[in-house]
Every structure is written in structure tokens, then in C-alpha cells.
Amino acid sequence: MGDVAACEYLMVTGLLKAIPSEDAGQRIIYLEASNEALDQQNEVVLAKALAESADFYRQFGNLDVDHITQIGARSGIPDYLLYEIGRPIEVRIDGPQTFVKAQIYSGEGPAAAKANQVWDSLTKISPPARWFPSVGGDVLDRGTEFDPETKRSRTVIRKVRWRNIGLSRTPVNATVPTASTIGVGAFAKCWGAGGLDLAKALEAGYGTDVASLTGGGAMRMQSLDRKVQSYWGFRDRVSADIRAKKVRPSAASLIEHATSNYGVDHSEAAEYVERFLSDIKENLEKRKG
């Protein structure tokens, strides 16, 4: 493989989606680390390349801010190791997608300052700060291939030494979702091909058929206030906004839309979105049955 110093450094920006949550007092985030998308450097990182380096990343890799722990020494950045904010716990490959479970550091003093700043900006302000993640590592093998979609050549990275995931406030690819503090678990990857199509689910009748609701759903009350007064008010308003294409049907977008337009704080919006997605899934399963 050669010496690390002789390797090119890889930064795959804008390919991650995070879902932070508290787990037994630990700061845990779940990341969709890569999906073989073409980035603005006209590069694609194969899932196979990350899979082959997954054990290395899990044992020796980290999370930081702006890849500073990786480039700080040669860039002359003082105290560059203080930019480390966490470490990976698990890595899972699913087709072209790579998922990572990671822990954000907690504590006091300079060593925990950056981790606390990032975590607080994701969980304690409304709307949450926008952090754009990226994969970092050493490029060990790359080649050029023809892309049938763009009708142009593209660089395909076939082998890496995966060492880092960085969070940045300045995106290279702003078309992908930012990191988010949505505790929706398995719904993190339900959008798109093969998953739950929220727009189609709403067109199928969810959100308008009161008889299909259970519990207190049939007893909900409408509110004319800007602030939604209950989950049911949220459900009706967000359903209408999705149909009107005022918000993208993704969990992260729904959270941000609710905090910006419905007068609810971030934690309440996250709870509403999680319940909303769960209700849709349950309703669709009942219809299929």
C-alpha cells in the first residue's frame, strides 16, 4: 500500500446524513456515510472500498471538524487534535450505502470543547445548526470511467485507507441533506427507491381519512394559531405542506420545516415527525393487510 505520507488525501464531502440521539447517557449519532454519489470533484467512492477499510476505520478512525485532525499538522494549525469530536462504534455496508454509528465525546475542558459545541448546536438551538459531513482518508487506488448518466468521464476511487469523518459548516455539495438530530431510528433510510414514498402514501389517503385513525386521532381539534397545539394539528398541516410541495418529504426537512413554521421547538418537532412517520407506516401496512 505504501507509506501514508505518500498517499493522496481523500475528502468526500456532502455524502452523509446523521441522526444524533442520547443512548444510555452517551452522545450517539448514526451516519449514512456514503452512497456512491458523484461529488463536485467528479469523484465516486465505491462502497466496496469503504467496506474493505471498515475495520481500520472502526479501530483507528475518528470524527472531527473540517478534517482538521487529518490536515492540521501539515497546514500548521495549532492544537489540531482538539478538533476531534468523536469516534466510530459500528460500520455497516448495505449495497451502495455505508452506515456508521459513532459516539460524540462529552466532558469538560479544552479536549471536549469542540465536541460540546457541535453537539449543543445540533440539540440545544432551534432550528439546529447545519453541519455538512464528509468522509476522509488516503486514496490508495483510483481510475477513470465513463459515466452513462452525465456522458462524461468520472474518477472512481477503488481503494482507500478510511480514517476520518469530518463535519463542516461550509458544504461542497449543498444538494444533499445536512446532519440532523432526528431520533427516528430505522426511518433514517426510508426515503427513495425501495423505501417508503411519503408523497405517494399521502396521495393514498393518509391524512384525510379520519376513520382510519386510531385512539385520539378522530377527536382532534383544529387550531387557527400559527403554533400547532397538538400532534394532530401538526399532522394535518405537514400533510398539506407536503402535498403542496412546500417541504421535501425527508425526515430532516420535516423537522426544520416544523421548527421554522409551526412554532414548536426542535425536540417537540422531532417527536412529532417520528410519530408521523410511524403512523404512516402502520397505516400503509394495515391497507396492505
* Sole residue written with cell 430505522: 186
Angle between helices 231-243 and 251-261 (to 10 degrees): 110
Strands (E), the chain: 8-13, 17-23, 26-34, 43-45, 62-65, 84-94, 97-104, 132-147, 152-168
Q: Which residue has the higher pLDDT, 197 or 41?
A: 41
From 178-182, 218-222, 228-232, 246-250, the region with the lowest mean pLDDT:
218-222
**Which one is predicted more confidently, 58 or 16?**
58
- 193: helix, strand or coil: coil
pLDDT of residue 202: 63
Q: What is the pLDDT of residues 110-126, one digit of tens each?
A: 999 999 999 998 788 87
Return the pLDDT at 251: 75
Does the pLDDT of residue 204 top 90, yes or no? no
Cβ neighbours of 263 (radius 10 Å): 14
Read off the pLDDT of residues 125-164 as tens digits, 9 standing for 90 and up.
877 788 777 889 999 999 999 888 888 898 999 999 999 9
pLDDT bracket for residue 55 (50, 70, 90): very high
